[in-house]
Amino acid sequence: MTANPVQSEEPLKPVAPATGEGSASTPLPVNSVSEIINLPRGKELSESLALTLARSRPVRWVVVAGPVGSGKTTLLTSLYELFQWNRVPEYMFAGSETFPAFEERCYLSRTASENVEAETARTIYDPVPTYLHLRVAAAKPPRRFTDLLLTDVSGEMFEHARDSTGACKELTFLRRARNFLLLLDSKRSLLLDKRWAMVEEAKTLLQSCLDSKMLANDCAVRILWSRFDYFMQDGDTSEHKEFRKDVATGFQAAFGHRVTDFKFAEIAARPTRAPQLGYGKGVVNLFEEWVTESPQTREMDLLPKIDGTRESEMFGKRHFASGEKS
């Protein structure tokens, strides 16, 4: 089933590829008057293309961080699929600059791939960040449109940032993040000899981001137990719950005083080990946080506050009456 974009009064304008980023064009004959139409490729957006889009309209930057194989790309593609299946209450799909990029990442989880089990291709390491774009709208009027730019970078990039504040400062997209998601892999948490090393690595990455002042004061930080179906496959035991409680306590002690908006959450984007959780477990709740109004996306209220009884003030009150909010 293919999602139908919402028809709106503010159509989604394609972002023109920057110099050197479009497909190579065939040279025109001398004296030719034909014009070259450089169409967007629809693949993941480079840094320059993402910034071009951000300059054209308000956007919400979402950074998904975590080690290799922790489920970062699966999280993003599951949200895309949920919109395809109309399973995101209160919101509608309204367009994307990266349709082919999303489809490429979804392919291994579909029947056409002939895989026995749904998979997600690993994001290849590249020191240059790329982004996926999603535009959504409220399902009911008045429709508020929101553009999301979602990082799609490999775990190696965050490993470098974890080990060095200098390398962390090179990830300039962190400064633009309105939502920072740090994944803890539930599958790895089941390995008793590796679980605490994974936790310490995640804490070190967050500390590096804070020490290098790469996260804004109003950035919402979410520590996510990804692939939560691994905890649930044999029942969520008391030992599992105690472990997660200890982890949350440690994070809160280390960062609760440094991060204003700081919470833990559980997700199972594609719960193959516990299908009863339902596809996209916890993903919609995350998405709803991303599109919540913020000072950066809220419409400005420019109407004057008129409370006086002088004639000039009464005139102003009558003049602006049609624009006042009910």
Residue 146 is inside which H or E element, if any? strand 145-151
| Residue 24: burial class (beta carbons within 10 Å; 0-12, 13-18, 19+) | exposed
Residue 294, pLDDT > 90, answer no
Residue 240 lies in a domain: yes
Distances in Å between the alpha carbon of 206 and those of 18, 60, 181? 33, 20, 10
Residue 258, pLDDT > 90, answer yes
Residue 283 is inside which H or E element, if any? helix 283-290
Residue 243 has a pLDDT of: 97
pTM exceeds 0.75 for this model? yes
Residue 5 lies in a domain: no
Residue 303, pLDDT > 60, answer no
Residue 309, pLDDT > 60, answer yes
Residue 137, pLDDT > 60, answer yes
Residue 120 lies in a domain: yes
Residue 67 has a pLDDT of: 92
Residue 195 lies in a domain: yes
Evaluate whether 253 touches 244 at the Cβ level (below 8 Å).
Answer: no
**Which is higher by pLDDT, 105 or 146?**
146
Q: Which of 82-91, 169-178, 293-302 has the lowest mean pLDDT?
A: 293-302
State the pLDDT confidence band at 11, using cuts at 50, 70 and 90: low
Residue 8 lies in a domain: no
Residue 27 lies in a domain: no
Domain housing 136: 47-323
Residue 10 lies in a domain: no
Contacts 24+ apart (CB under 8 A), 194-197: 195/243
Evaluate whether 62 touches 149 at the Cβ level (below 8 Å).
Answer: yes
User: For residues 130 and 58, what is the distance between their CA atoms, to the nearest angstrom?
Assistant: 18
Distances in Å between the alpha carbon of 288 and those of 36, 137, 282, 284? 41, 12, 10, 6
Residue 8 has a pLDDT of: 47
Q: Tell me the per-residue pLDDT of 61-76, one tens digit each, with 9 for 90 and over.
A: 999 999 999 999 999 9
**Which is higher by pLDDT, 175 or 322?**
175
Query: In total, how many domains does the chain have?
Result: 1
Phi, psi of 262 (to 5 degrees): -135, 120
Q: What is the CATH number of the domain that holds 55?
A: 3.40.50.300
The residue-averaged pLDDT of 29-33 equals 55
Q: Which of 113-117, 127-131, 207-211, 276-280 has the lowest mean pLDDT?
A: 113-117
Residue 109 lies in a domain: yes
Residue 23 has a pLDDT of: 46
